Amino acid sequence: MIADLSLPTAAPENLLNRELSILAFQRRVLAQAADSNVPLLERLKYLCIVSSNLDEFFEIRVAGLREQIKQGATIPGVAQPVTLYRQLCREIHDVIAEQYHLLNDEILPALAAENIIFLRRSLWTDAQRDWIRSYFENEVMPVITPVGLDPAHPFPRLLNKSLNFAVELDGKDAFGRSSNIAIVQAPRALPRVIKLPAELTGVENGFVFLSSVVHAFVGELFSGMSVLGCYQFRVTRNSDLFVDEEEVKDLRKALQGELQQRNFGDAVRLEVADNCSPHITDFLLQQFGLTREECYRVPGIVNMVRLMQVPDWVNRPDLKFQPFQPSLPKSLDKHADLFAEIRTRDILLHHPFQSFAPVIDLLKAAADDPQVVAIRMTVYRTGNDSVLMENLLRAARKGKEVNVVVELMARFDEEANINWAAKLEDAGAHVVYGVVGYKTHAKMLLIVRREEDRGRQVLRRYVHLGTGNYHPRTTRFYTDFGLLTANEEIGEDVHEVFKQLTGLGRAEELKHVLQAPFSLQPTILALINREAEIASQGRKGRIIAKMNALLEPQTIQALYLASQAGVEIDLIVRGACSLRPGVAGLSENIKVRSIIGRFLEHSRAFYFYADGEEKVYLSSADWMERNFFRRIEACFPVLDSRLKRRVIREGLKPYLTDNCMAWEMDSEGQYKRRTPRGARNSAQEWLMKEFCG
């Protein structure tokens, strides 16, 4: 389904560029690493998060832009795609320079002051060098493969984001060959950071980088030859998967074939150590078909993501965020029977402040309960080790009707999802892969249970709908909402959506749930336009919307028109935002803010004053074209007035008064961090105190 072209769309000059907005988000994350109020090991994590985010940005967004330029495609709102591409390269160079400045000049020295030391090769003691040599000979050399370049040994195919070394050599080998360049690939099985025994370092936490180990002893790989230089490098490749949806007959098989090639897509970035000689750098750029502006010289390890493991290895609670224990709703503390409690009232879970355990417990109870006859669930991201999937497997083995909609195209989780799909099928579950061309992004669990009601047997539906993935690990540091309900009409809606996903037939009108690609965007537009109509009549118009990204042009135009009609609009957008707030005559009644804190803000919550009715929705979807038109999404109203007040009180209002983690955006897409004047208000800190004590 495509957008309704009859609806007004924001003019290109009134939209901010998506890629530049994504980079602005990386700068906000980087500011967390620069903040001395953030615990030291957490600052290191934020640096790693920026690296991980930039990896994906290159693999998908930069790769896509390069393809568009190569094909001569036009980009809406971009006069010269090449100019945009060069601007992106400059911005990324600046971000990376700031990142390594923080690592080398602030965070590593601060860690050393806390006796968490990364040993420099030039400062190794004899005892340390002997231990590291032994490690190299026993752990590294047996699994490493040097490739000397000559006519019989062309430049090797290197895996996406793998650690490699270009080695300059002099002399002849055993066969009289005099190749002066070799490539050494570090297997992914080798740890990039190695912890040394405390007796060798004098501290509990002494580490050495694998790159330093290889540099120190690389000569042992080339007997009788002289090593003139050894330079670490890393190439990032286009990792977007392409499946011809018109020709594909078996999506799983087609995707498995594509996954094998993902690691060898076209190169989009070269990272080299800053000591790499110019002619080796040029040689590598030539091999990968890249230009000098696509080369990123870094003063340190070329893969900062691997430092993410270090805080987990270091037992220093004083250098980490204070631990907290998610709470349970009071009603669930008292009742062992989850089904009875959900029948009594809807239950709202606010993660990570409230535990995800009730969802796991509900699925576990459903797997074991002889009265449960069917379980249906969507799977987008759930991880390689998932208790939820294990419960589904157990339910299937017990003979229950288990239907699972597995999204095979969940980016970078494709392999895990394929593996789960195979296990589920082997256990007797019915597995489908949604609808080709539409990612199944909705988070839905439907349990059908046979119960006695007034002396007769009935089938009752129990539903969980969420804004986040069925991934127990991410529920500990992503903010999300989940609703548990036995509401008959919502149960019928969810049943209807599953029927669409697993069978064939026309889309039926749903009673409450808004579904993409059918009713979601038109209803959001209608709700926005209704606020505009009310405001134009002199009454109160109010919209508060919280999401991860706001990019869809028709929705942005509707917000502009609502602003012009006098609607007061607050948008809490964590990441990319194309809307320009505060422009006279266009959007002066719109404010945009982003919250960057301890937890990743992931919940989507939409509030419309609705002439005093106050409509509140929770959703799996952001306001983006892909979510509205190319995904299957579920947006659901909060019908219980008690829970509606909770969403407003917990999920929206605290974020509007936050003066610690909030960044306010101007009309040019620049963000300024709020600083407390007087009382300190942090939404996340308040929620932790509210729920976790």
Q: How far is CA 384 from CA 297, 419, 426, 520, 579, in A?
A: 34, 8, 17, 31, 37
Query: With b meaning 16 or more CB within 10 Å and e meaning fewer, what string describes 400-434?
Result: bebbbbbbbbbeebbebbbebbebbeebebebbbb
Task: Provide the CATH number for the domain around residue 562.
Answer: 3.30.870.10
Tell me, yes or no, whether 449 and 536 share the same domain.
Answer: no
497 and 524, same domain (yes or no):
no
Q: What is the mean pLDDT of the chain?
A: 91
User: Is residue 519 in some structural domain?
Assistant: yes
Residue 415 is inside which H or E element, if any? Answer: helix 414-426
Measured N-to-C along each axis, helices 18-34 and 40-56 cross at an angle, to the nearest 10 degrees, of 160
The identity of residue 473, as a single letter, is R
Look at residue 534 in the predicted model and tell me its pLDDT. Answer: 98
Q: 447, 478, 510 — which closes off a domain?
A: 510
CATH for 215: 3.30.1840.10
- Residue 228, domain member (yes or no): yes
Q: Indicate whether 374 belongs to any domain.
A: yes
At 244, the pLDDT band (50, 70, 90 cuts) reads very low
Per residue in 480-511, pLDDT (tens digit) is 999 999 999 999 999 999 999 988 778 789 99
What pLDDT, in 10s, does the model give residues 86-144?
A: 999 999 999 999 999 999 999 999 999 999 999 999 999 999 999 999 999 999 999 99
CA separation for the pair 346, 73 (Å, rounded): 50
Q: 407 pLDDT band (50/70/90 cuts)?
A: confident
**pLDDT over 50 at 2, yes or no:** no
Q: Would you say residue 406 lies in a domain? A: yes
Asked if 401 and 484 sit in the same domain, the reply is yes
Together in a domain, 505 and 519: no
Torsion of CA 509, 515, 518, 524, to 10 degrees: 100
**Sole residue written with tokens 């959703």:** 619
Q: Is 6 inside any structural domain?
A: no
Query: Do 390 and 270 share a structural domain?
Result: no
pLDDT for position 634: 98
- Which letter does DSSP use for residue 318 in this model? G
**Domain co-membership, 500 together with 630:** no
Does the pLDDT value for residue 177 go beyond 70?
no
Please check whether residue 3 lies inside any domain of the structure: no
Considering the domain architecture, whether residues 451 and 489 belong to the same structural domain is answered as yes
526 shares its domain with 481: no
Quick one: pLDDT at residue 386? 87
Provide the number of structural domains found in the chain: 3
Considering the domain boundaries, does residue 266 fall inside one? yes
User: Which tokens belong to 297?
Assistant: 């010289």
Note whether 123 and 225 are same-domain residues: yes
Q: Which of 319, 353, 381 is the last residue of a domain?
A: 319
Task: Evaluate the CA torsion angle 629, 633, 637, 638 in order and state its sign.
Answer: negative
* Residues 556 and 438 reside in one and the same domain: no
Place of tokens 């560029």: 17
Do 201 and 265 share a domain, yes or no?
A: yes
User: What are 637-654's pLDDT values in tens digits?
Assistant: 999 999 999 999 999 999
Query: Considering the entire predicted model, what is its pTM?
Result: 0.93
Q: For 360-380, what is the mean pLDDT?
A: 95
Q: Which of 292, 319, 346 is the last residue of a domain?
A: 319
**Quick one: 531 and 651 in the same domain?**
yes
- Helix ranges (DSSP H) in 18-135: 18-34, 40-56, 63-71, 81-101, 108-113, 126-135
| Residue 111 exposure: Cα atoms within 13 Å on the Cβ side | 26
Look up the domain containing 547 and give its range. 515-692
670 occurs within a structural domain: yes
Active site residues: 441
